[in-house]
Structure formats: structure tokens, C-alpha cells
Structure 1
Amino acid sequence: MFVVMSDSHYDRDVVQSIKSKYLNEATAIFHCGDSELPSSDEIWQGITVVAGNCDYDSGYHDFLTQEVEGKKVLITHGHLFYVGLGLDRYSYFAEEKNADIALFGHIHQPVAQKINNILYVNPGSVAQPRGKYDIKMYAIIEIEGEEFKVSYRNLQHEPIPELQFRL
């Protein structure tokens, strides 16, 4: 089980809350950018984080890959792939990187879908939600064989009933 959050926009407390809840339970914790915190902040110990379009600290990477539970996870913010216009560009990149799971942020809306056998997840925003779901949220991904369980949670760590997926 691993945790994905994004777009915290200076809200260090929400990052700390999620980290504290899952640090000893999750196999990995990811932040998909736009934290607007320094890359040297101690909060990133135990969290894989990338640069967003609002992160100007050169200590962040534009994308990273990491093996988690036998799957190759690709993480980026998404702005460099124009994810607001769709996942085409990002999906080409994810295929080039041989990713099993591709995480991204930027659009502040939940996305959980499979394209060409790669799972794409946007965890929504823990600070500034947009779109249909006006709920500050993050995602939990569980790997069950070849199936993925994606569970969106509110900031009270409760599942959001209409945002539970098996893909």
C-alpha cells in the first residue's frame, strides 16, 4: 500500500498529517509537486517528491521513477506534459519509461484510469480541490496481483465513497 498526495500549496501541516498517519504503514509516500516548500525541508524525509509549476527550488526533479512492491512507479507533476489537455503526452512518456503506474498532479482533480495497461492516478489536491469534487483529498493505491485498488481519502483519512476503484 502506498500513498499519493499533490498540490499542497504551502500547507505543510497537511503534508505532515498524511505523513504521520502512514509513515510506518505505507511502503512509499509520494507528493506530485506544487508543495511550494523548500526541497531541503525535513518533511521530505520518507516522501518522494517532484517539482511542480509553482516549485522554484532547483533541488526538486521534474520526474522520478521508483520500484514499489514490484511495480515501476513514475511520478511527475504533469504541467510539462500538458495533462490539463489529456494524458496523451504523459502516456507516451510513461510507456517510454516502462512504468506500471504513472502518478501526476497539476489539475487538482482525481483521476484513476488504465491506458495500455499502465495505471494513471492523480490524487486530487490536499489544499485546493477543483472540478466536480470540492473535497481536499489524497489517494491510496494497493496492488492486488495484476489489479490495482485506488481509494481516495479526505483529510480525516476517511474513504470518499464514490471515489473507490478497482482497475
Structure 2
Amino acid sequence: MKILVLSDSHGRIENAKAVLQRLEQQVDMVFHLGDYDEDAKALQSMFSGLPFHYVKGNNDYGWDTPSHKLVTAQGKRFLLTHGHKERVHFNVNTVAYWGEEQGGDAVIFGHTHVPFKDGDGRVYLFNPGSISLPRDGFPPTFGIISIENERIEGAIMEFDQGTIRRRKREL
């Protein structure tokens, strides 16, 4: 199973739309981690053949979108959050502890606009970065999470001037 992970599109869905157009037949599910949940809703209507799961971020104010969501895929429990309430800008330990408390196999979060992954702890941590407004010198990024042989593995993908490639340098 492959899951496309997007975050922090901030009303600029052109890159996300282009990525989905290219990968629609290669992924089984989409996560959007907020900022903006309206972007996730628009993409969901454009690509209605894919299951979408999304949460709201610190710039989302609607009542109909949850701030946290549990999604089970192939027996793995994914906890989705934007990350601002867990203060991921300062430290990922809080989100890791929260994931453990909730019995999650992975915590998928955004907010920082900087990609991050860590599979060394009890809970797999994954941040795809920002598809539209990257920071710290990164190009626009998104993630692909694979579940194979009961193992979760995340890949940070770069979307640079229309080209999709796996990030070569480890984070």
C-alpha cells in the first residue's frame, strides 16, 4: 500500500494537483495535514477515486474538520495531526509521546514546512514538508508512505519545477 502525504498547501494547490495527476494511479490513499483543509476538500473532489483523510491546521477555522484523526491502513494505526498543538516547531518528542499514548504506529504531521522522518523510536514520525511554501532551503516536498511486510517506510519526495524525485540526501 502507498499513501500520498501532503501538507501546508496554504491555498496554492497547483503543485498538489500536479502531483496527484501524476501519481493518482500509483497511490491508494491521500493524507493532507492541514493549512488549508479547504485545499484538501478541493483536491478530494477533483480526485474522488482516492480515499482522502485530512485534519485542520493552525490556519483552518472550520468546525467540520477534526484537528486529529486516526486512520488504520493494512493493520497500521496512523495518527494525523497538523502538529501546532503539539509544538513540533520546538521539539518532536511531544508528538512522539502523544503517538505512544494513543497506541499509534506512526504520527504523521506538518506545520514546520520542513520535511522530517524518524523510524528509530517506538512510533514512526513523518513530516512531508510543504508542497507549496517550503522553508530552510528545501524545494516543495511531499511524502510517500509505503506499508510492506507490516513495515512502515516513508520517502520524502521533491517537486521541483514539475519534476518529481526522491530526496537523495537523508534528513
Q: TM-score, normalised by structure 1?
A: 0.86
Q: What does 1:106-145 correspond to in 2, within 5 Å?
A: 106-114=111-119, 116-131=121-136, 133-145=137-149
Per-residue CA shift, 1:130-156, capped at 9, x if unaligned? 12x421010111123354332211222
Q: Is the 8 A contact 2:9 2:131 kept in 1?
A: yes
Distance 1:82 1:43 in 2: 32
**Partner of residue 18, structure 1:** 19
In the TM superposition, residue 31 of structure 1 has moved relative to its aligned partner by 0.7
In the TM superposition, residue 40 of structure 1 has moved relative to its aligned partner by 5.2
Gaps of 5+ in 1: none
Where in structure 1 do 4 or more consecutive aligned residues deviate above 6 Å? none
Which one is further off, 117-126 or 18-27? Answer: 18-27
Structure 2 CA distance for partners of 1:38 and 1:119, relative to 1, 3 Å: closer
Which one is further off, 44-53 or 90-99? Answer: 44-53
Distance 1:68 1:55 in 2: 26
**Partner of residue 33, structure 2:** 32
Per-residue CA shift, 1:35-79, capped at 9, x if unaligned? 262675435843211100011122211010111122111100000
Q: Is the 8 A contact 2:119 2:125 kept in 1?
A: yes
Distance 2:78 2:47 in 1: 18
Which one is further off, 64-73 or 35-44? Answer: 35-44
Query: Share of identical aligned residues, percent?
Result: 26
Structure 2 CA distance for partners of 1:16 and 1:80, relative to 1, 3 Å: same
* Number of matched pairs: 163
Q: Is the 8 A contact 1:39 1:57 kept in 2?
A: no
Q: TM-score, normalised by structure 2?
A: 0.84
Code of the residue aligned with 1:28 in structure 2: it is M
Which one is further off, 73-82 or 22-31? Answer: 22-31
Structure 2 CA distance for partners of 1:40 and 1:105, relative to 1, 3 Å: closer
Distance 1:38 1:58 in 2: 15
Distance 2:47 2:93 in 1: 30
Q: Is the 8 A contact 2:131 2:140 kept in 1?
A: yes
